């Protein structure tokens, strides 16, 4: 019945009056033909929409932005990638990549390779924020702004470096990356932004004609992780110990420096790990490391009196028992309130001191090499010293 509504009323009337036999057949065919026309129109419309998105009809207007294939481009800026291909090729129309270009994907980690077009002149530091599965980046040979070398994407003016090899994110990878730059040339006397996934480190590098001079050329100015920022002026090279640890699985980044202190970054906070005062012999001292097996950041917590390395006398001066708490091991977690220390095991002095001491010495061996000193203080044996300490000092916990 609906099909008849599409046919001219006059034509139907004419049929009924002038051609009764042919009209009887026509009346039977007209509904079928009209329905076929409707189905065909709907099908063509659907195909037009579908291929308009996938490339057959490559460009359409979308609220002021151009949608080319799977790319939403606005005034040359790539605003969104909407595709599902793990190998993404940035079109030549793109001159800038926005910070949220890949943030709307259902699974951003599915992208494994990225090809930068020849006209890309600007990439936001957070552009590859969510691309945790990215293993390879290439740049069109005609691009005058970016290049790829040693697993990193470089801006040719020396202002920006994206590290792609996330599996090796630590201070050694950072050192290797900076050491590959020409500080006596285009990278000298410049502020460089180094991006390791979700971690951004801003470094100032002065001119350095040779590798030995680089001991004083680089200073870390800022560390940023998911909006949490710490500003520093820490020397990177030389005798300063810098530690960079990143657990992508737990969303935790740890930065430690002999001058600037220790910081733990989570998605919601940044916490400075306070060092105990010198006189606080039972104050907690934390050291951190990365566990390659499970991808977590682990910690060791010890009382300050048991962290003096080769200065054995402080070990003994405050030890109140052979079974006193010596250290705790565990790993870091995070929630909306900040960092969580998740303990796994705790040990006494007798159990672990020899294992963790730099020269693998027990309490008795330490007392033995300092025997003359303690005799002058009135202690002939280690047990006499421990008994005295137990009466005058608090035990560690």
Residue that is last in its domain, among 16, 39, 54: 54
Would you state the pLDDT for residue 10? Answer: 41
Q: Is the dihedral of CA 197, 199, 204, 207 positive or negative?
A: negative
283/301 Cα distance (integer angstroms)? 10
Order of strands, edge to edge, in the sheet holding 146-149?
A: 146-149, 152-155, 160-163, 190-196, 199-205, 218-225, 228-235
DSSP strand pairing (122-123 vs 96-97): parallel
**171 assigned to some structural domain:** no
Q: Is the dihedral of CA 8, 13, 16, 21 positive or negative?
A: negative
Residue 100 neighbours by CB distance under 10 Å:
16
**180 assigned to some structural domain:** no
Q: Which residues form the domain of 390? A: 278-397
205/184 Cα distance (integer angstroms)? 10
Number of domains in the chain: 2
**290 assigned to some structural domain:** yes
**Radius of gyration (C-alpha) of the chain in whole angstroms:** 34
**230 assigned to some structural domain:** no
DSSP strand pairing (77-81 vs 87-89): unpaired
Tens place of pLDDT for every residue, the chain, 397 residues? Answer: 434 343 344 433 444 444 444 444 545 545 555 555 555 554 544 444 333 333 334 455 555 556 667 899 999 999 999 999 999 999 999 999 999 899 889 898 899 999 999 999 999 988 988 888 888 899 999 999 999 877 788 888 878 888 776 555 677 777 767 766 655 555 556 788 888 878 888 888 766 555 555 545 678 889 999 889 999 888 776 556 688 898 888 889 999 988 778 999 999 999 999 988 888 989 999 999 999 888 899 999 999 988 865 455 567 889 999 999 999 999 999 988 889 999 999 999 999 888 887 778 888 988 998 899 999 999 999 999 999 999 999 999 9
Beta bridge partners of 81: 71
Would you state the pLDDT for residue 174? Answer: 77
220/256 Cα distance (integer angstroms)? 12
**321 assigned to some structural domain:** yes
**13 assigned to some structural domain:** yes
Kindly report the length of the chain: 397
Would you state the pLDDT for residue 253? Answer: 93
**109 assigned to some structural domain:** no
Would you state the pLDDT for residue 49? Answer: 38
**315 assigned to some structural domain:** yes
What is the distance of C-alpha 61 from the center of its chain?
Answer: 35
| Cβ–Cβ < 8 Å for 247, 295 | yes
Residue 19 neighbours by CB distance under 10 Å:
12
175/236 Cα distance (integer angstroms)? 8
């Amino acid at each position: 019945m609906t099909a008849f509504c599409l046919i001219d009323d006059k034509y139907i009337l004419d049929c009924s009056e002038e051609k009764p036999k042919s009209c009887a057949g026509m009346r039977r065919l007209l509904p079928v033909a009209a329905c076929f026309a409707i189905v065909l129109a709907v099908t063509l419309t659907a195909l037009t929409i579908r291929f308009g998105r996938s490339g057959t009809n490559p460009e359409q207007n979308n609220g002021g932005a151009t949608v080319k294939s799977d790319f939403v481009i606005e005034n040359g800026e790539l605003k969104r990638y909407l595709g599902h291909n793990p190998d993404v090729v940035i079109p030549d129309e793109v001159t800038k990549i926005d910070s949220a270009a890949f943030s709307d994907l259902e699974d951003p980690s599915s992208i494994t390779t990225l090809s930068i077009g020849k006209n890309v002149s600007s990439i936001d530091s957070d552009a590859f924020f969510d691309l945790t599965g990215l293993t390879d980046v290439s740049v069109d040979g005609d691009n005058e702004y970016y290049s790829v070398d040693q697993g990193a994407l470089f801006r040719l003016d020396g202002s920006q470096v994206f590290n792609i090899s996330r599996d090796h994110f630590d201070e050694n990878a950072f050192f290797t990356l900076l050491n590959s730059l020409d500080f006596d040339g285009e990278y000298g006397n410049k502020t460089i932004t180094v991006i390791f996934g979700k971690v951004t480190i801003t470094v100032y590098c002065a001119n350095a004609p040779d590798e030995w001079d680089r001991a004083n050329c680089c200073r870390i100015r800022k560390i940023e992780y998911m909006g949490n920022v710490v500003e520093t002026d820490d020397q990177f090279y030389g005798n300063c110990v810098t530690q960079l640890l990143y657990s992508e699985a737990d969303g935790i980044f740890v930065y430690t420096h002999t001058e600037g202190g220790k910081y733990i970054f989570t998605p919601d906070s940044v916490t400075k790990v306070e060092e105990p005062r010198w006189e606080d012999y039972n104050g907690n001292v934390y050291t951190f490391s990365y566990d390659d097996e499970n991808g977590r950041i682990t910690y060791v917590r010890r009382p300050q009196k048991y962290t003096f390395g080769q200065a054995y006398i402080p070990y003994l001066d405050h030890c109140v028992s052979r079974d006193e708490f010596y250290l705790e091991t565990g790993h870091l977690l995070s929630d909306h309130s900040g960092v969580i220390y998740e303990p796994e095991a705790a040990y006494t002095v007798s159990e672990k001191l020899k294992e963790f001491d730099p020269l693998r010495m027990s309490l008795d061996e330490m007392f033995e090499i300092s025997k003359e000193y303690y005799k002058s203080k009135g202690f002939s044996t280690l047990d006499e010293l421990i008994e005295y300490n137990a009466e005058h000092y608090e035990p560690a916990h």
